[in-house]
Structure 1
Amino acid sequence: MAFLKLMVFSAVAIVLASSKKGGSAVSVEELRELLVSSMQTTISLTAVVEQQTKSISEITNFVDEAKEEIKDLKSKIESLGQKDEEQTGIEELEEKLVKEIEALKETCAEELKARKNDVMVVSGEENLREERCAKVCAGTSVRGATNWVDYSSNGIYADVDISKCGFVTIPTVTSSLEGTTSHWTTTGSSEIYSVTTGTFRIYLVAQSGRGGGANKMGWNVEWIAVGYTC
């Protein structure tokens, strides 16, 4: 509004000055046209100023938004860089672990190759095999759960399972009788019959062991077998 007043006063001043200089009076119509022209110019200038002000405001807002976006982008880049560093550290650790595992495998392989088998079989029911395949296996027919079978008038027998040893040739078997009472009166506990890769049998002369008496007295066969598993 102040700018508009200034333009109007300026126009009036120009008219008056022009009137004095030329010596002739300015008509009302001329004065009106001059004022209208001045007002139109003022309005146009005001619109330009408003438009420029709006543009400057929009540019300012754009710059502020751009600054924020650049800030966010910079933060993401820094975060990405940190993740890359962490990933690199993990990959280096994995690579180190793989190398250590491979080195350990080589060491174990060399030790196994250099170490001699503690079991030696000098003779057997079948042909001898590589020492590394020799194995000692031991067990029991289990106290109170041995499958004793009555045999003849004064004897019993039991088939002992050794299949879990995994023998591929007939092993050498040693056996004895263990119990809670009276097993010292028996004979036959160390006499082996019908040995296979998975079982063997023993016969006992023991009248008191018949009819389930052997299990009641805790008789069971304890054994050790040596053979080849490969």
Structure 2
Amino acid sequence: MSLPEQNPRKTVLEQMIGGAISAIPGIGPVVSGAYLGTIAASAREKDEEWLAMVSARLKFVERELEARGEALEVDGEFIGLFNKAFREARETGEAEKRQILAGIVAHAVDRQSFDWASDEEWLDLTFELSPRHIHVMSFFYDPADWIRSTGEDVEPLSRRGGNFAITIDDVILKYLARGDERRRDRVVSTIRDLERRDLLVVPLGSNRSAYPALQPRTTPRGNQLVEFLRRCASDD
């Protein structure tokens, strides 16, 4: 999807970057123009990629509406949501969140599957949460199913001799932190934040027998958020 031609005046971002490069003694004036062109082209490509995702999803929703004898509805609420999602998509480099934002925009035109009154809370949370928050939420919604989706057998992780074969801390380190202790600290910080938001309850440091490691850990509120995100991504 092509975008309208940009205003010939530099954007604030271009001015900031260009000013910083130009300030470098000796090389600034020579390279700043080339760098600005590269940055502008990259940003434009990223915008077009996201708008193409939105367009593809809108076509899917439009076919669903046509099958029901309905038409796309675009009003002030939708335009506001689109603008907010576009800004957020520009600010994040995470493909997963960009896809979620595109799905939300597309589903917002279908009033049968998208209720502004009841879904507003989940919309706000989606914009607030980072891709890491969403990834952790998706994992703990059903850890066993998540692991199976990678092709791994969860049976070896099940109960052995009265105890569970793996602890919750083991699961976090292996599947969310990918064996990196420093990354694990960031994941734990994310878990704590989600707990404060009443989206997760994860008993870290628990023993094997008391807490099955692959049990879902999302709260009822967390379940609603994950289900909202899955509903918006259902046409992928």
Structure with greater Cα Rg: 1
TM-score normalized by the length of structure 1: 0.20
Question: Which one has the bigger helix percentage?
Answer: 2
Question: Which one has the bigger strand percentage?
Answer: 1
TM-score normalized by the length of structure 2: 0.20
